[in-house]
Amino acid sequence: MPSLPDMTTPNLTALAGQALADSGHVQVPAPDAGQEQFSEWLQRLGDNCLILGHRVSEWCGHAPVLEEDIALANQALDLIGQCQLWLGLAAEVEGKGRDADALAYLRDAGAFRNLLLVELPNGDFGVTLMRQFLFDAFHIELLRALKTSSDNRVADIAAKAEKEVAYHLERSADLVIRLGDGTDESHQRMQAALTKLWSYTGEMFLDDAVDQAMADAGIAPLPSSLQPAWDKTVAAVLDEATLAAPTGAWQHKGGKKGIHTEHLGYILAEMQFLQRAYPGAKW
Amino acid sequence: MATTTLPHTDQIWEWLSQVPDPEIPVISLTDLGIIRDVQWQGDTLVVTVTPTYSGCPATGIINLDIESALRAHGIQKLELKRQLSPAWTTEWITAEGREKLRAYGIAPPVDGTAADGVLAGRVSRLMGNNLTIQCPRCGSTHTQKVSQFGSTPCKASYRCADCLEPFDYFKCI
């Protein structure tokens, strides 16, 4: 994974792969789910974590105060750890001999399945925090629902990740409120961030054929079913933060199908350079 | 070693209790509660380990340390398994481990206070009002949260309003 955990752990991927293979879980998902669609859906989860984790890691050494720098780096680490689990499972389900690293480092932008929201540039600290809050509020509902997935492997990863994301949400909600209901400048910046990002939130709740197949197999909830809880959390926090969500209904979409903003390519150029230039390079 | 009998798993647990956590060397891997199982499968020793945080960079080192320690004790066939479920919780840190943390200057976790992602009562909780974290240096309960995150993924930053020292609190998950 990009620069963070692997420096001293040459055998981690192999260990993780071995552990998954040995975990004793059923190796097939619930009936009627095509493996290709299942892997596609897992890549959406993994790519959200990978791309947001990478974006957040860009703050390392640049955050406004030391504590925030540490918090952002730790969140990036959590997300990239979760990405390794999801993409590891996606690769296993796919069964084409790829692993999490191959998915992360060797796919082009059109093969990435993350939401557009998570690839948007960091902007100022307000944009970074607002993006994190809007995503965390969605992420927690998704993981909560996945804990009862018909596929044990999915449920296990979700139960692990949920604890970390609950912590992320508490922090991002807290800071959105403090800064929204803060000074004139912090309020303006948070409102500008919300206005800028709002039209990227609708994509989280769009259902497509892959989502429907996962829902039919009991693997995952339909994304649309998560929206009421998200609406409630977001409305309560924004209200306390004295911020107003835009009323326009128009929403960007495309990330789940591989149609991305121009920003993703730049992320991949940085993240994938080493593996592209020196295939198979290891620490 | 090849023809001798295999060491009892109690012995293995004892050896593992001597392996320090790489980030917080005063506590052992067994104090931390991350060794979930030790068993022989034929002549292969299978040690099951659960990660604290999914992205914890110490995970690889921990595996390496387990392997080095057990090989040094003559274990030849060794397999390390990762187990995610049930997910690790700070409640598994042993009483002895908590005391060692405190003596080292890290306030041990307060059980039952993990974030649950339910934002009701948020402000009070975030201000640390639901928690009385004792300063590990002077014992004062007059302490404040500085940041939800600290020097490693498993810790938060606090300061003591009496002795004025900053300290780490082992955050609950």
Give the residue from B81, B93, B7, B90 showing the smallest Cα distance to B43: B7
pLDDT at A7: 40
Q: What is the average pLDDT score of chain A?
A: 90
Distance of alpha carbon A148 from alpha carbon A96, whole angstroms = 27
**What phi and psi, each to the nearest 5 degrees, are found at residue B82?**
-95, 130
Strand partners, B156: B169
Partners of A160 on chain B (C-beta within 8 Å) are 51, 54, 84-85, 87-88
Stronger pLDDT, A25 or A138, i.e. the higher one: A138
Averaged over B111-126, what is the pLDDT?
63
Please report which confidence band the pLDDT of residue A12 belongs to, taking 50, 70 and 90 as the band edges.
very low
Confidence of residue A151 (pLDDT cuts 50, 70, 90): very high
- A20·B54 Cβ contact <8 A: no
Q: What is the mean pLDDT of residues B29-48?
A: 95
Per-residue confidence band for A5, with pLDDT thresholds at 50, 70 and 90: very low
Nearest C-alpha of chain B: how many angstroms from A173? Answer: 8
Whether A245 has a pLDDT exceeding 90, the answer reads yes
B78, containing H or E segment: strand B78-82
- Which of A160, A162, A226 is best to mutate for the B interface (most B CBs within 10 A)? A160
CATH class of the structural domain A33-277: mainly alpha
Instruction: Tell me which residue in A18, A81, A166 faces B117 most closely, judged by beta carbons.
Output: A166
Give the C-alpha separation, B32 to B91, whole Å.
9
Which of B3-11's residues contact partners 24+ apart within 8 Å by CB, and which partners?
A: B6/B40, B6/B43, B6/B45, B7/B73, B7/B74, B7/B75, B9/B38, B9/B39, B9/B40
Do the chains contact at B123 and A70, CB–CB below 8 Å?
no
Contact A152 B85 (CB under 8 A): yes
pLDDT over 70 (residue A3): no
Where does chain A have alpha helices with state H?
12-22, 35-57, 66-94, 100-106, 116-119, 125-146, 152-180, 184-197, 209-216, 227-240, 263-277
pLDDT of residue B60: 87
In this prediction, residue B125 has a pLDDT band, given cuts at 50, 70 and 90, of low
Q: Taking CB atoms and an 8 Å limit, are B117 and A170 in contact across chains?
A: yes
Residues in A touching B114 (Cβ below 8 Å): 163, 166
CB contacts, 8 Å: B60 with chain A = 5-6, 8-12, 15
Residue A34 is predicted with a pLDDT of: 82
pLDDT digits (tens, 9 = 90+) for A134-146: 999 999 999 999 9
Question: Which of B44, B51, B38, B29 is closest to B100 using CA atoms?
Answer: B29
Confidence of residue A95 (pLDDT cuts 50, 70, 90): very high
Residues 6+ apart with CB under 8 A from B95: none
CB contact, 8 Å: B73 with chain A? no
pLDDT, mean of residues A195-223: 97
Contact at CB, A171 and B148, closer than 8 angstroms: yes
Mean pLDDT for chain B? 87
pLDDT of residue A50 exceeding 70: yes
Domains contained in chain B, CATH given:
9-82 (3.30.300.130), 93-170 (no CATH)
- How distant, in Å, are the alpha carbons of A113, B9, B72, B76, B140 from that of B4? 54, 15, 16, 12, 54
Bridge partners of B157? B147, B168
**Percent of residues, chain A, with pLDDT higher than 70:** 88
* B147 touches A: beta carbon within 8 Å: yes
pLDDT of A28 above 80: no
Closest in B53, B81, B173 to A19, CB measured: B81
Give the pLDDT mean for A69-79: 94
Distance, in Å, from the CA atom of A40 to the CA atom of A30, rounded to the nearest integer, reads 16
Bond before A5 cis per omega within 30 degrees? no
Residue bearing the bigger pLDDT, A92 or B154: A92
CB-CB: which of B51, B123, B147 is closest to A70?
A: B147
Q: What is the mean pLDDT of residues A248-260?
A: 93
Average of pLDDT values for A27-42?
Answer: 75
Instruction: Check residue B137 and give left, alpha or beta (phi > 0: left; psi -120 to 50: alpha).
Output: alpha
User: Would you kindly state where each structural domain of chain A is located, as residue ranges?
Assistant: 33-277
pTM of the model: 0.87
Instruction: Give the model's pLDDT for residue B153.
Output: 76
Taking only Cα atoms into account, the Rg of chain B, rounded to an integer number of angstroms, comes to 18
Task: Give the per-residue pLDDT at B130.
Answer: 58
For residue B31, give both structure tokens.
């104090």
